[in-house]
Structure 1
């Protein structure tokens, strides 16, 4: 499940990268053994998880509940898996994903991983649980519809004799359970979560939520349409729904962030990262892809994806600047009143 991603994100990316490196002689340095690769992968994942969780623990000024602690641990794992695993997804390594991906989709999956890693890092830097809940909501929205579609429509695409397939489903289940617990137990609002975003930021959130959500629904409901501008993977409904999952996660995150300027900033940063990443992925696709039976008859840039997500990234960046100015002005007014 990708787009950022995906997102069994917790441990999937680096776990499969470490275990699969021995099977692919083209990866890494030729003189490194599989044991060395596994040790490197474990150290990177555990180290990143530890840094993320410790950063969160040092910033909170209250005794966290068990559900809050669990939510922070899961997002620390999401940070680690999303960030490090994305390097394997970007290279489209065969052992890093449970079904073959066209090159553009692999790049966009990696971008989703990095975007979720950033969102998780931002949530872990905040001291209130509503921020954790926001990213868990995005994780749940990313995974739940895709998992349901897989179970009903796409199980024939999976080879359960492969380690990566079994790992995929185990981590999907774990993340869905953890995210569901977070959504049920963590508070929806927090008195210290910040004021509502300003007018520009609010409209930006609605625009991002509307455009990304509409596109996600179209791709999910009709994954094989007639126009390559919207459907670049004809005949591959599972991959189309994988990409749509990230669109839907950002859309729901944007709408859920409307009550708080701090939540809005996390969504804006995630959108900037994903938007810029999609543009870069499009250029990388043109430079590296080759026509193939499972990929593309002719390699062309995904213009509509690059334009729309590039524009949404710019909108998010402008909203970030506007919200930053509004925050500074608000602090100045409160200082004068004090």
Structure 2
């Protein structure tokens, strides 16, 4: 299996990525601290210059810049913001540091295409996982929309995370996309631990997009107080019902999809080294919640020893009915393997 991984220009992590280039389908990265994407701003996001230098030094693998905010302010579609974004992409192209973008706003894709056909024609446009492509028909429609612009057609697409543990469903969509677009690479995202069919997702993506606007700042407390983190704490079985894929289970999708995306780019470089290394090795000994985006926030309160989960965990949860109230399997596992941690100060060691 090949992997799509985050990129940050930290020397040890960049060396890991470069050394594993043959196992990678692509790297992805935030274009800059002020560019809109589907994560809240970090405390120390690298500058475009730092990113461009680090990316240009990588072996010849696709390098994908993130423009995957759910929506954007009007001036980014028509005014100075659009001009600045085109200039930023042009600079990355001149440095040989970007081959495509990942987008979630078709308005922005069309605006960029109209503003600079030259820049658009040098880049592929890949739909974000947040398009929630859960059927062949939906995936085909979004891919065709991307191809209607001056951007190069998407060479890959990532299917909706809720399909992760439905191998037959994934295989059918993948086969259909391969027929329609020979050479298309189809992937899934492995380590996002959000609720299955998350009822908060549409509003959450909108809140993140709003946080990019000066008049609105949205922090994590809304999820703790009203959203998914509260649901997980009230019912820890939901943690294991989340459609993540453990490192040990990636092999279950060999021949079903073409690659697996690893998320966590807002984590530290040290964390990313551990996460990516675990998936490359197919094994992780530690707190499963720490490995997963979303659930990582709860890993200081709850622990689930990944190595202790049953070997047939994927098989038992694949193609399940998703009727958690009547099934109870994940709740039984949580009672056995998810524990509340005692408060403690973190232990710091040199990076």
Q: What TM-score results when the alignment is normalised by the length of structure 1?
A: 0.29
Larger proportion of helix: 1
Q: State the TM-score, normalized to the length of structure 2.
A: 0.29
Q: State the structure with bigger RCO (CA 8 A, min sep 6), 1 or 2.
A: 1
